[in-house]
Structure 1
Amino acid sequence: MPTLSRDRLPLPAVWARLFVLLVAICSFMPSAFALSYDDIINKGEISIAVYRDFPPFSYRQKGALVGIDIDIARYIAQQLHVRANIIEQTADENVDDDLRNAIWKGHYLGGAVADIMLHVPYDRELALRNDLVVLFGPYLKEEIITARNIAKLGKDATLALFRYEKIAVELDSLADLYLSGAFGGSIRANLLHFKTTEEAGQAALRGEVAGLMGPRSQVQYSLLSGLEQFDLGKVPTPGLTKSDWLIGAAVKNNYRQLGYAVEDILASMVRDGTMAKIFKQHRIEYMPPSLDYLAGAGRQ
C-alpha cells in the first residue's frame, strides 16, 4: 500500500485546510450583508452609502467627510438613536451598478454592503430595472440650469449665444449630451469639457468660458466664490426631454420596514424645515419635492 509523502495530504485534509483559510480571510473582511430594521436597532448602528468625491453632497475637506448628504445621514441615525457608519461609494458606470455595489450584492473587489443608500434618482424606469431594491423618500428636486457670465452676456442670455461664446460642461453629463446636439450641433465647437462640474466652474470663475451648464446644486457649489458674477437659472432647452428629477434613497427589497422608517424621517425633515436648513448651511438653494411624494406616496 503506497504511503503519502510529507508534503502531500489526502484530499479531505486539503479541503479542510482550504476551509479554515477561507474562514480566516472572511473574518478580516467587512460584512457583505445589509441589516434589517430590528438588527440595526439591536446593533446600535446603521450603514449609509454616499457617493465619494461628490461636492456639495459628500466629499473630503481637510480629511473630514462633509457635505449635505453626510448631514442627512447623521440626522437619520440620530432619529433612529443609532450610530452612523458612512460608506463612501465610488460611482460606477451607471446608477444600476451603484445600486448593485452599495445595496444588494457588493462590489466584486469586496467591501461592505450598506443598509441604505442616499442620493438615488427617484425614477420609475430605474426602479423597474432594479427589482432587488426599493426606491423611496425623495428629499430633493434637482434640475439642469445654466450659469451665464453677466459681464460677458448680460442678463437673461439664452443658449443661442453659446454659438459664439464658450460654455463649460462635465464630460459625458446630461448637459454635455444635450449641448452637443442642440441647435443642430452649432454649440458643439464651443463646448469645453471637464472631469467634474466643480472643475468646469473653476474655468468659469477664471473667465475661460462665458457659461456653465449642469445640475443646480453642483453649479451653485462650483461658483460659490464668485456667484454674484453669474446669472443662474433655467433657460429654454428645446429637445431636452427631462430637465429636472427627484433625488431619494434606496434599500434592499426585503428590508422595507427600514425603508418605511427612514422615509418618515426624510419626509419630516422636508416638512419641518430641517432639510432646507442643512442646504442653507452649505450655501446651496434647496428645492423640495412636491408634497405628493412625501411619506409613502407612490414608492418606486
Structure 2
Amino acid sequence: MRQLLAGLCLWLACALVQAEVVKVRAFDDIIDSGVLKVAMYENFPPYSFMADGKPRGVDFELAQKLASELGLKVEVLWVRPDETLDDDLRNFIWKGHYLRPNVLADVMMRVPYDREFSYKQNELGELINELVVMFGPYQRERWQSAYDDRRLEELSSVAVFRYHPVGVEVESVPSFYLSSVFNGSIAKMLHHYPTAQAAFAAMQAGEVDATMAMRGEIDWMLGQANDSHLKAAQNAYPNMGKQVWELGMAVHESNRQLAYALEGELEGLIKAGTVETIYEGYGLQYELPELYQVQLGEN
C-alpha cells in the first residue's frame, strides 16, 4: 500500500509540474530568442538523423532554410515515435511528455497534411488534435518496392511475392498490406525486421528477394548501396487504399502566426527550386504537393 501511495503521489507531482511548466512560446518570443525549436524523428534517414555528430536529412535542412529566412537558428528536439502520431503531437506540440514536462517544440516536421487526419474524432465525437494546426505541405510521399534482379527478374506486380520472399518493417503499412492482399497468399513469404533499413540489408544479404518501404527511404538506401543489381520497381499496389500522401508541419493552435510565417517562406523556397535541390542532394525523387502543382502548372 505504501508503494501504491508513493507511486500515486509521484504521478500527481509530475502532473502538477507539467501543468505549471509547459508553455507554448509566442511568435515574438521565438523571434527574440533567435532559436526555432523543431521536433524531428530521430534515426530516420534520409529525413532526419545524426551523421558524424551532426543532424542531417532533408527535414533538417529544410528546417534550417526556413529558420534562416526568419533570422533564426534551429534547435532540434529528437522524437522517438510513440504508439500513434496523435501521441507524438501531444508529447511535442501541445502538452508535453510526462518524462519531459517542460519540453515543447515550436514546430514539428513530417506531419500528414490531410483534412481527414486533422479532423479525426475520438469515440465521444471530440477532435483528437484540436490543439494542433497542420500546415505547409512540402512533399508528396508514396510507397515503393525494390528488388534484386539476380533473384527476381522483374517486379511488375506485388503478386510475384507469392513466390519470392519479401522483407518489411514490422507493424508497418507494407506489412499489413502484403499480409492481407490477394487473400493473404503473400503472408507466408513475409519476413519482418525492426526497421526498413534492416529489411533492405536483408535483401542485400540474400535473405529476401525484395523489400517495400516509403519511396524516400528506398531512394536513399539504393543510393547508399550503389549496386546496379538492386532496383526500384515500377508497380502498383491494388486494394491498398491511400498510396500517396502529403507531408507538412504542425504547430500549437495558439501559434498560427508562426505557421503563417513559415508557410510564406516555404512557398518561396518551393517556387525557387530550393526544396527540390535539398531532396536531390540526398538522391531522392521530389514530388510537389498538389497545392504547388496547381500554382506552378505541373501535373
Bin of the TM-score, shorter chain as denominator length? 0.7 to 0.9
Query: Following the alignment from structure 1 to structure 2, what is the Cα–Cα distance between the partners of residues 88 and 94?
Result: 16
- 1:279 maps to 279
Q: Which segments of 5 or more consecutive residues in structure 1 lack a partner in the other structure?
A: 1-21, 296-300
Query: Following the alignment from structure 1 to structure 2, what is the Cα–Cα distance between the partners of residues 193 and 223?
Result: 19
Report matched runs for 1:1-300 at 5 Å: 32-110=22-100, 111-129=102-120, 130-224=129-223, 225-226=225-226, 228-292=228-292
TM-score by length of 1: 0.84
* Amino acid aligned to 1:39: D
> Compared with structure 1, are the counterparts of its residues 107 and 227 closer, same or farther at alpha carbon in structure 2 (3 Å cutoff)?
farther
Q: Is the 8 A contact 2:166 2:189 kept in 1?
A: yes
Q: CA deviation at 1:68?
A: 1.1
Q: Secondary structure at the match of 1:152?
A: coil
Larger Rg, first or second structure (1 or 2): 1
Q: CA deviation at 1:34?
A: 2.6
Q: Secondary structure at the match of 2:287?
A: coil
Q: Is the 8 A contact 1:205 1:226 kept in 2?
A: no
* Amino acid aligned to 2:263: E
TM-score by length of 2: 0.84
Q: Is the 8 A contact 1:267 1:294 kept in 2?
A: no
Query: Following the alignment from structure 1 to structure 2, what is the Cα–Cα distance between the partners of residues 76 and 227?
Result: 35
Where in structure 1 do 4 or more consecutive aligned residues deviate above 4 Å? Answer: 292-295
Query: Following the alignment from structure 1 to structure 2, what is the Cα–Cα distance between the partners of residues 151 and 56?
Result: 26
Q: Is the 8 A contact 1:142 1:215 kept in 2?
A: yes
Q: Is the 8 A contact 1:141 1:289 kept in 2?
A: yes
Query: Following the alignment from structure 2 to structure 1, what is the Cα–Cα distance between the partners of residues 60 and 183?
Result: 41
* Amino acid aligned to 1:260: Y
- How many equivalent residue pairs? 268
State, as a whole percentage, how many aligned pairs show the same letter.
36
Q: CA deviation at 1:39?
A: 1.5
| Residues 134-160 of structure 1: CA deviation (Å, up to 9, x unaligned) | 100000100011112222222343211
> Compared with structure 1, are the counterparts of its residues 160 and 251 closer, same or farther at alpha carbon in structure 2 (3 Å cutoff)?
same
Q: Which segments of 5 or more consecutive residues in structure 2 lack a partner in the other structure?
A: 1-12, 121-128
| Residues 6-52 of structure 1: CA deviation (Å, up to 9, x unaligned) | xxxxxxxxxxxxxxxx9xxx7xxxx7323222211122211111111
